Structure 1
Amino acid sequence: MPKQAIIQPSTEAVEIIEAPIPAPQDRDVVIKVVVTGTNPKDWKYPFWKQWPHNSGDDIAGFVHAVGKDVYEFKPGDRVAALHQPTTENGSFAEYAVAPDWTTSHLPHNVSFEEGVTIPVAAGTAIMALFADMKLPMPFMGNAEAREKRPLLIFGVTSAVGAFAAKLARLSGVHPIIGTAGRAKNFASSLVDHVVDYRQSEEKLIAAVEDILSKEGLDKKVPYIFDAISEGGTLETTLKIIKLNGGVVSTVLPPKLFARDPENFTYPPGVIAYNSAVVFVHLTHKDFGYTWFRYLGRLLQEGKLSPHPHEVVPGGLIGVLKALQKLRDGHASAVKYVCRVEETAAGVGLFDAHGHEVSREQHPPPSGENIHPLRNFPYPVDGKP
């Protein structure tokens, strides 16, 4: 029987279980997973309500079956897809499920390892840039002729930040300023200007203002996409955002990640969003449909490149190791992916080395070991 991985809230163990191949609902695509991607949320969200679960949402593989209302996909198609977060049959499994409107045909010039870097990260970026911030979309007219419209991206070498930069460039948004640290060379390939976030806040702000001045622009930024949203980036935004009409999008909620959450607030003239990819499954289904079709075309034409990736060996056991690497801050301009067929372990509870362990060795976390996202009010029926 097919296997799937259940990540334990401690992020120190994974349970490999057997589960039947899912039966598709009307608009479902059931996918035989070749490669699964991992994301920071996958080690953060298992803490939410102490819920051990298969949190994988990045899928790449072959279509196994489709629901009765699916007409654009058939068994055998190569696809990359976004699983709906917090629902059953995630990507840490031999078979996973995604709605047809968040499934993309994967061109033959893109490997499964490359394709799996796209759904969550690019999906988050398009929600932030085009649904929330309402920047012009690449297919809406002559992008090259658009006037200067500065965009600052905190964390531009993260998968989400990098896709935001690539898509913004396709849209004719410029100049694009990105903050980066170790991966400065990669950042330089994505944006017009790179600012080192490791310097003091004062120097970072001065560097951004100097760039804008040299571009002949106001020293305040009209658009900021914060792909970090912790460690002070939220507060720095307040000092460089345009106060009258500025737009901010964050990937984490300020009410949980600001340094002083109770008193953190944006000025009245600033519009702020906490952008979440899950809304393409809730309130933005047509938006998701349009973009996931378009992503496939951009990949086929070579206009959009996947994110750099690293294969973590071990299959479904490797998923746990990948999440630990994310948790411990090892990732820099890289997405950790796992080939499901490499799973050698049988059914049971295992550590990241594939050694079987007892449940008593891995109790649920408590106190300071619980990630703040345990309190995040996950969207329900389209309402945050």
Structure 2
Amino acid sequence: MKEVLVTGAPNEPLKTTIIDSPIPTPGPNQLVIRNVVVGTNPKDWKIPVVMSGKLPPMNTGDDVAGYVHALGEGVTEFHVGDRVAAFHEMMKPHGAFAEYTLAHAHTTFHLPPQTSFEEGATIPLAAMTAAVGLYARLGLPEPYAKVHAAREAAKAGVIVYGAASAVGAFVIKLLVKADVHPILAVAGNGIGFVEGLLDKGKGDVVVDYRKGDEEVVKGLKAAAKGDVLFAYDAVSEKGSYQNICQVLSQKGGAAITLVLPGKKYDEIPSSITQSVTTVGSVHGQPDDLALLGFAWYRLFGQGLREGWFSGHPHEVVAGGLGGVVEGLNNLKDGKASAVKYLYRVADTEGVSASKI
């Protein structure tokens, strides 16, 4: 099979090499997916750049959609030929940028007939990042938790910073499904998209970060219905959490979750509980949230069937796996706004095993 290896270095464009690799063999509770569409996330370029010189070239992709190709021992929920999407275990071999990907059964979910492989490939990593942050880090109500201690506390507003990103948009979709309002969203070029997710009748607003930090803080404070206690920072840089902390209550009980690991968020006051949302937790890194992952991937599938959940806007990059380098560099250069870059694996036919 063809597989893409990614290399990066600070202040340089990323490079990819397409090689021939063996099709992986599934272990217990694993399956192999014959990929139809694969997707990219910001971590796919950040890891090669940050770890430049410390890691060999690697297949950094984790979002896949396609057909079940082979089953490992103990897998009973899926059958060969099923249409599925899956979250590959980060930093492990046999990632998404390939014709076949190895995935765990508990981070794989069925795609209903009406859901395209393109839509399915936008969901696995970003939507689960939203679920982990909302439920395991912030402790906000899940859609079926009609009686929940945090429901009343959330009525002052929940801040979602970076609302047009895939993670931010999925956060909003899950808050809306749980009827948690008002949602105090912050976005820029993707404001039009975000407005389509919100319910202004329930107090939801979107604030434009392009107007500057002072206006962001002012706008969030004006929209809040009291002491704001919850914030999901899907950006976690460029002043995002500093702005958020000026709006969150300083009286105690407020919480913020961030998405960039390895940073020291020293500017966050001690009165605000901070956490980092690590989607790898559903694979046990750093904590074990496998049960949450199992449950929510199945709920994503149900939501797609019933229509209350959907994927993210996307753009298919030409060239199949040969286009991965273009998508990664677009992400690195900040060109993506309210869009996920996808690659149709079949479009890779005829590409030689050479540097792209």
TM-score (norm 1): 0.85
CA distance in 1, matches of 2:219, 2:63: 36
Equivalent residue in structure 1 for 2:215, among 195, 203, 216? 203
Residue identity matched to 1:8: T
Task: Give the stretch that moved more between structures: 56-65 or 11-20.
Answer: 11-20
State the shift of 1:142 in Å: 7.2
Q: Is the 8 A contact 1:229 1:253 kept in 2?
A: no
User: Residue in 2 aligned with 1:194?
Assistant: 206
Is residue 2:93 matched to residue 1:88? yes
The number of residue pairs the alignment matches comes to: 336
State the shift of 1:311 in Å: 0.3
Q: Is the 8 A contact 2:261 2:278 kept in 1?
A: no
CA distance in 1, matches of 2:217, 2:290: 38
Equivalent positions of 1:111-150 (< 5 A) are 111-141=116-146, 147=152, 148-150=155-157
C-alpha change, 1:203 and 1:120, in structure 2 (3 Å) is same
State the shift of 1:253 in Å: 3.6
Is residue 2:345 matched to residue 1:333? no
User: Residue in 2 aligned with 1:249?
Assistant: 257
Structure 1 portions without partners, runs of 5+: 259-263, 351-384
Residue deviations 1:11-65 (CA, integer Å, cap 9, x gap): 4321111111111000111000100000111110112432221000001000001
Q: Is the 8 A contact 1:246 1:269 kept in 2?
A: yes
Is residue 2:103 matched to residue 1:98? yes
User: Residue in 1 aligned with 2:201?
Assistant: none
Is residue 2:28 matched to residue 1:59? no
State the shift of 1:177 in Å: 1.0
CA distance in 1, matches of 2:347, 2:15: 18
User: Residue in 2 aligned with 1:76?
Assistant: 81
CA distance in 2, matches of 1:189, 1:161: 13
1:348 aligned counterpart, secondary structure: coil
State the shift of 1:268 in Å: 2.6
C-alpha change, 1:221 and 1:254, in structure 2 (3 Å) is farther
2:74 aligned counterpart, secondary structure: coil
CA distance in 1, matches of 2:245, 2:297: 33
Is residue 2:253 matched to residue 1:233? no
C-alpha change, 1:27 and 1:248, in structure 2 (3 Å) is same
Residue identity matched to 2:164: T
Residue deviations 1:43-100 (CA, integer Å, cap 9, x gap): 1011243222100000100000111111000100000100000000000000001100
C-alpha change, 1:6 and 1:340, in structure 2 (3 Å) is same
1:349 aligned counterpart, secondary structure: coil
CA distance in 2, matches of 1:140, 1:105: 24
Is residue 2:322 matched to residue 1:320? no
Superposed CA RMSD: 1.5
Residue deviations 1:191-221 (CA, integer Å, cap 9, x gap): 3201011112222111111112xxxx22x42
State the shift of 1:265 in Å: 4.0
Equivalent residue in structure 1 for 2:49, among 47, 50, 74? 47
2:301 aligned counterpart, secondary structure: helix
State the shift of 1:299 in Å: 0.6
CA distance in 1, matches of 2:281, 2:262: 18
Is residue 2:178 matched to residue 1:171? yes
Residue identity matched to 1:252: L
Q: Percent identity?
A: 43
